[in-house]
Amino acid sequence: MSVITILDYGAGNLKSVTNILEFLNCEYLVTNKKEDIKNAKSLIMPGQGHFGQFMNALQEKDLTEITVEKIKSGTPFLGICLGIQVLFEYSEEAADVKGLGIFPGKVVKFTHGKIPQIGWNKLKTTQNNSFLSDDYVYFVNSYHVIPDDKRIVSAYCDYNGDFVAALEHENISAFQFHPEKSGEIGYGFLKKWIDKFVCF
């Protein structure tokens, strides 16, 4: 198994993600160095916080272009929480800040129910899913993605209407939920991702 590179943009749920990797006996590197990202064999982007601050931090560290390059080159990539949102073109949370633009689409704020959504919600997997299951996982989010291409969606959840909970496309996987806060189910999902994309 190769070393998993975790992108450190200066915030995010790094400790909880590294705790899982240690539990799963995976080697990892937490870094914000461009050369490390360039040489990464697999990449996890954990995230929480504000879309604009996230993208500005990547830009300030000169990591935006190399991150896009790595994702588009086929490097196994996992985005968590804000890490799914920045894959799209823009967000209502910071309309003047461009996302990574890996996928066409946008990020919008929930318009009904308590905001943010905090707690457990049940996944409804799609035919595009390869390693999730219809179980309860843990969310903390006020925003959700709307892809132009619905074929990349691997799971929905219902929060006063369906929203995208996860996506898969070739080397890219991304979760709106927090696998690292979802107990044994979340650990299992992360292990399946590692088994599929990292064990080579």
**Residue 86 to residue 170: CA distance in whole angstroms:** 18
From 93, 144, 168, 178, the catalytic residue: 178
Supply the Cα-derived Rg of the chain in whole angstroms: 15
Q: Single out the catalytic residue among 50, 157, 180, 199.
A: 180
Distances (CA, A) of 119 to 25, 114, 158, 159: 28, 11, 13, 11
Q: What are the distances in angstroms from CA 10 to CA 24, 98, 109, 121, 147?
A: 24, 19, 24, 28, 27
Catalytic residue, candidates 26, 81, 93, 168: 81
Rounded Cα gap, residues 166 and 161, in angstroms? 15
Is 178 labeled as catalytic in the residue annotation? yes
| 168 among known catalytic residues | no
CA distances from 24 to 61, 90, 187 (A): 30, 34, 8
- Does the active-site annotation cover 180? yes
Query: For residues 67 and 31, what is the distance between their CA atoms, to the nearest angstrom?
Result: 12
Backbone angles phi, psi at 62, to 5 degrees: 60, 40
Give me the active site residues, please. Answer: 81, 178, 180
